[in-house]
Chains A and B, each alone.
Chain A
C-alpha cells in the first residue's frame, strides 16, 4: 500500500512539473503586445520535387490582430481582425481585391497562425496536447478523426527573445511545412492601419 502511495505521489509530482513547465512557456509570451517579423515557408510536398517556398512578413497586435503577407512568389495576404478573416490579392497589374473568407477553410488556417504567433496557451490547449521540449514545445492534435490532416507540430523558441523562431508542421500524408521567422521585432509601436482592409 505504501509503495502504491509513493508511486502515486511520484506520478502526481511529474504531472504537476509538466503542467508547470508548459505554463511557464506561455507565460513568457504574455507580455508581448506586438510582433513584426519576416517569414520563410517551405512546403515539402509529394507533388513537387522541390520544396514550395514562399516569403513574406507578419504583423501581430494583441489581442487578436494579424496580417500574414506573402510577398513571393505570389503577393497576397491574410488579414485577421479578431472576428473576420480577409484575403487580399493582387492581379498582374497590381490591382488589389479583398475577399471576406471568414467562412472558408482558409480562415481556419489563419486562425491557427494567429494562435501560434501569439502563443495563446489557453487556445492551443483546447486543440492540442502540449509537451515541453528543450527549445520549445510539441503539439499533438486532440482531434484524431479522419478529417485531421496534421500529425504533430513542433515549435521552437528564440533563445534571445520571447518569440517563436520556427514552426514545423508534420502532416499525416508525409508532407511537411517549415516556417522560420527572422528579423523579429517585439512590442514595436506600429499603426493599426496595417490591418485595415
Chain B
C-alpha cells in the first residue's frame, strides 16, 4: 500500500486535494437543523412536537408596566403599534380593537346561549332601553363621538359590553382581565401584549431583531415605563449572549494552553498537522451524516469534539512512533501502529454503533457522524501521516515516572474509585428538562418572575387537553360532545362552535329577539325623532336581531386558534388546570399533555434508556477488545479508564452539587470513546515497549483533549460547562488510571 502510494505520490496528492475541496464544498451546503425533539426518544418526540406545535407555542409576550395604570396603557398602545407595524418582525397581533369587536358583535348570534338570554332579558324594559339610547346619542353629538359612531349605529343598546363577557373564556389566568382591548393585570398597571411569531424561534437573526426592536421602543417610552418580552426568541437571544461570551473566553484559554503545550513538548512545524488534520475528519463526517439524514442537527456537530479528540490521539501516536524510528524503517514502524490505532478506532466505532439502536434520532446521527469521521481519521493517520512526519530515531519518553505503584495499592485505589463512583451514580442529580439547558441573565430571571406573577403561572399550571377528529367540523363536534361531559372545565367550545351548533344557536337567537322587536323599534324611533337622527340608520341593527347573520366571514381564530393539524387528523386544544381530570368519551380520541408531564416523561425515559445503553456500549467495547487482544484481562484493563472516568465524573458532580443535564448524558459516549484509547495505548506499551508507545504520547494526547474540551469548564452556559466538566474530570481520571493503575497489573506477566 505504502509503495503504491509512494509511486503515485503526485496523483494521490491531486486526488486528496480534489476530495478535500469537494468535501469542503458539500460542507458549505449543509443544512443545520435546530430541532430539540431530535434529542428525545422517538416515542416522546411525537409528544414534544404536539406540544411544540400547539396554539400556545410560537408566541411572543410583551409586558409593559409602570406605577401608573393610565401611563402603562398609553405606553402599551404605543408599543403595540410599533411592534405590529414592523413588517420585518412579522408579528401577528390579535388585539381586541374596534374592528375586531364590531365583527365579534355581528358573529355573536352563532355563540348565543340561554345564559345570555337571561342576562339580556332583564335589560329589555323601556327605562333601560331609553337610558342606553340616550347615552349613545349624547356621544354622537360630542366631538369624540366620531370615534364611536360605527358602534353607536351598530349597537345602540350597548349589547357588546355583555357579549364581550364571553371572551373571558379565553382568559386562562384568574390574575388577568381584558380592559379596552388589552390583557391587563388586576391592578391595571401591567399590560400583556401577545403576538404570534410565525418565524423560527430558534433563529438567532430573528431573535436579535426582536431584542433590538424592544430596546428601541424602550427608549421611546417615558422613563418610568418598563418593557420586556418573553418567549422562545428571548431564550435564543439570552443563550446566544452567554455562549458568545463563553466562546471568546474559552478560545483564548485553549489557544494559549495549546500553544504552550506545543512549544513545550512538540516544537516541530510538521507536528502542527496533529491539530490541523482532525478538523478535516469533521468536514467529511458532517458531509456523510448530512447526506444520510438530509441535514444534521447542530447538536451532532457539537460532537465534532469527540472526533477531533480521537483523531488527535491517532495523529499523536503515529507522530511519536515515527519519531522513534529510523528513516529506512518508516513504513515498518507505521505498520506496527496499524493494530493499536485500528483497535482504538474499532472500540470507538463499536461504541458508536450501539447508539444506532438507541431509539433516539440524535444518537443515530451522532453514530453515523462519528463512525464516518473515525474511519476518515484512521485512514489519514495510517496512510497519509507516515509520508509527512519525520523519522528522527529519538527515544521520546522523558516521562520515566520514578513512582511505580504495586498491585495491592492499585487494587485498593481501584476499589476506592469504584465505591466513590457507585455512591456518585446513586446520588448524582440528573435534570433532563429542556429548560435547564437555557442559561439566562439576572434581568431575565427578574422579568420572568414578573411575567409569571401577572399570568398566575398559567403556562406552568395548565395542561393541554386535545380532542381529535378527521375533519375540522368533526373535531369541533367531538369537542362539543366532550365539553358537554365536562361543563365545569371545558369552555372553549362555547366560542368555537361547529357549523351545526352555530346554526342551532342562531335559531335560538332569532326566537329570543322576535317578540322584543316592537319595543326596541318604538324606543329608537322616538329618541331619533327627538334628536333629529335618521331612524333608518338603525335598520342594520334590526336586521341583525331578526336574522342573526354576520356580514363578514368572521371567526374567533383570529384571536386564538385552538385547532391544529396533526398528520392527517385535526385536534382541538383545550387548556385546563394541571390537576383536573377530564372525563372522555370512549369513541372519541383524546390526549392530555402538560409541560410538567412531558418533563417527567423525558427524565424517566432518557434515564432508563441510558441505564440500558451505557452498559451495552461498554460491553460492545469489551467484546471488540477481547476479540482483538484474545485476552479477557487485557480487554478488561483497557476499558478500566473509561469506567473510572464515568464513575469519577458522577462522583465529582454529586460532591460539587452539579446537576447533570441532558447534554451531560448525551456526551457520555464521548468520554468512553476518548478514555478507552488510553487503556489500549498502555496495553500496547506493555506489549511492544515504550519506544514505539511512549507515555509522553499518551500524556500529550490527554492534555490536548483536556485543553481543547476541558477548557469548556470555564463556560457559564450550562451545556458547554457540563461537557467541559465531564471531559476535564473524566479524561484526567482516565489518564491517571492508565498511567498509574493499569501497569502494576502486568508486572508479573511480562510482555505478551
Contact = CB atoms under 8 A, between A and B. Distances in A.
Is B a genuine binding partner of A?
yes
Interface in B619-678: none
A152 to B, nearest CB: 14
Of B140, B145, B148, the most chain A CB neighbours within 10 A belong to B145
Contacts of A109: 143-144, 146-147
Interface in B56-73: 68-71, 73
A43 B70 contact: no
Given A48-B534, A73-B531, A103-B179, A43 B140 contact: yes
Given A48-B533, A113-B143, A102 B73 contact: yes
A74 B70 contact: no
B532 A41 contact: no
A175 B146 contact: yes
Of A47, A68, A147, the most chain B CB neighbours within 10 A belong to A47
Interface stretch (A7-15, A17-25, A49-57): A49-57
B146 A52 contact: no
Interface in B134-155: 134, 137-149, 153
B68 A83 contact: yes
Contacts of B145: 43, 52
Contacts, number: 90
A90 B153 CA distance: 23
Contact of A102 (B69, B139, B148, B153): B69
A155 interface: no
Interface string B97-131: 11100000000000000000000000000000000
Contact of A84 (B70, B81, B153): B70
A78 B148 CA distance: 16
B188 interface: yes
A139 interface: no
B533 A70 contact: no
Interface in B524-576: 531-534, 537
Interface residues of A, number: 39
A105 B147 contact: yes
B98 A171 contact: no
A106 interface: yes
B138 A76 contact: yes
A78 B142 CA distance: 10
Given A47-B534, A74-B134, A76-B138, A106 B68 contact: no
A102 B69 CA distance: 9
Nearest to B537: A47
Given A43-B146, A108-B147, A147 B141 contact: no
B205 interface: no
A83 B519 CA distance: 42
B98 A73 contact: no
A35 to B, nearest CB: 16
A196 interface: no
A85 B73 CA distance: 13
B132 to A, nearest CB: 13
A124 B474 CA distance: 54
B73 A103 contact: yes
Interface of B: 68-71, 73, 81, 85, 97-99, 134, 137-149, 153, 179-180, 188, 531-534, 537
Given A47-B149, A47-B153, A49-B532, 15 more contacts: A43-B145, A45-B149, A54-B141, A70-B141, A74-B134, A76-B142, A83-B71, A102-B69, A105-B147, A105-B180, A147-B97, A147-B98, A149-B146, A177-B143, A179-B143
